[in-house]
């Protein structure tokens, strides 16, 4: 069996991601991929209309010195074009898959994703805006411009597919799995479970 085809359809039914391109009713835009790109592993149109994507690199390329990479990106429809507004990539072992279960983003600089029931959250020091895309290499990741912080945490109920959401200001992040809800205050760096009391996220879990 070949690799799973990654397809996403926008809520309005006009846009879809398929075969490495964004399509509307009459045309398509193929997305740039660098020479290490191997496959798309995730696609989802977010509630605000943004397109979240993830990919893996090839294995064994000399440039990667035996490592492989996975990446997350966000695109928004701006003046008729799907502009890149967030981009992050990570080293991984060649035997590891990089397949997010959920991704969310806010223009203030929040990017969050879940892989194998681990939630990863990062906040830029300032919003990035539209990202220029080099022709022969991937753009700089969001983290290269300076993060305010990064943290990760285990999810409590891995048997359910997680759903991520941010409030309109990008301050509060919710992760819902079935009847379970874990919430995060991204300004005060607090967390709570199932509507309980807020507790500070321990400093040892936060990278600044």
pTM across the whole model: 0.90
* Exposure letters 182-197 (e unless 16+ CB within 10 A, then b): bbbebeebebeeeeee
Instruction: Determine, yes or no, domain membership for 70.
Output: yes
How far is the C-alpha of 29 from the C-alpha of 16, rounded, in Å? 11
What domain range is 112 assigned to?
Answer: 8-164
pLDDT at 96: 81
138: alpha, beta or left? (left if phi > 0; alpha if psi -120 to 50): beta
> What confidence score (pLDDT) does residue 62 get?
47
Domain assignment present for residue 144? The answer is yes
Does a structural domain hold residue 69?
Answer: yes
pLDDT by residue, tens only, the chain of 208 residues: 345 789 999 999 999 999 999 999 888 888 877 767 788 999 999 999 999 999 988 655 545 455 688 899 999 999 888 999 999 988 887 778 899 999 999 999 999 999 988 999 999 999 999 998 877 777 889 999 889 999 999 987 656 789 999 999 999 999 998 888 999 999 999 999 988 999 999 999 999 9
Q: What is the pLDDT of residue 2?
A: 44
Answer for the pair 94, 68: CB distance below 8 angstroms, yes or no. yes
Domain contains 194 = no
Q: And the tokens for 82? A: 């799907």
**Inside any domain, residue 153:** yes
As for how many domains the chain has, the answer is 1
Under a CB-based contact definition with an 8 Å cutoff, are residues 105 and 164 in contact? no
Contacts 24+ apart (CB under 8 A), 186-189: 186/110, 186/121, 186/123, 189/149, 189/151
Q: Tell me how far apart the alpha carbons of residues 116 and 16 are, in angstroms, rounded to a whole number.
A: 26
The answer to whether the CB of 115 falls within 8 A of the CB of 175 is no
Backbone dihedral angles phi then psi of residue 201, each to the nearest 5 degrees: -70, 125
CB atoms within 10 A of CB 163: 15
Specify whether the backbone of 17 is left (phi greater than 0), alpha (psi in -120 to 50) or beta: beta
Q: Which two tokens stand for residue 33?
A: 């991929």
Task: Give the dihedral sign, CA 106/124/113/191.
Answer: negative
Beta carbons within 10 angstroms of residue 60's beta carbon? 10
Residue 20 counted as domain residue: yes
């Amino acid at each position: 069996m070949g690799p799973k085809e990654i397809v996403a359809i926008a809520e309005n039914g006009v846009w879809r991601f398929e075969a490495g391109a964004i399509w509307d009713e009459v045309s398509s835009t193929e997305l740039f991929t660098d020479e290490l790109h191997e496959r798309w592993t995730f696609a989802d149109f977010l509630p605000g209309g943004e397109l979240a994507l993830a990919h893996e690199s090839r294995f064994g390329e000399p440039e990667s010195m035996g490592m492989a990479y996975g990446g997350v990106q966000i695109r928004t429809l701006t003046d008729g074009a799907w502009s890149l507004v967030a981009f992050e990539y990570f080293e991984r072992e060649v035997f590891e898959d990089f397949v997010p279960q959920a991704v969310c983003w806010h223009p203030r600089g929040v990017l969050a994703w879940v892989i194998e029931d681990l939630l990863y959250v990062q906040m830029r020091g300032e919003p990035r805006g539209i990202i220029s895309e080099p022709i022969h290499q991937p753009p700089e990741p969001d983290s290269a411009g300076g993060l305010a912080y990064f943290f990760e945490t285990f999810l409590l109920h891995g048997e359910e597919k997680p759903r991520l959401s941010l409030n309109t200001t990008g301050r509060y992040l919710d992760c819902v799995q079935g009847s379970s809800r874990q919430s995060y205050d991204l300004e005060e760096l607090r967390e709570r479970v199932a509507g309980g009391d807020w507790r500070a996220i321990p400093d040892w879990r936060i990278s600044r």
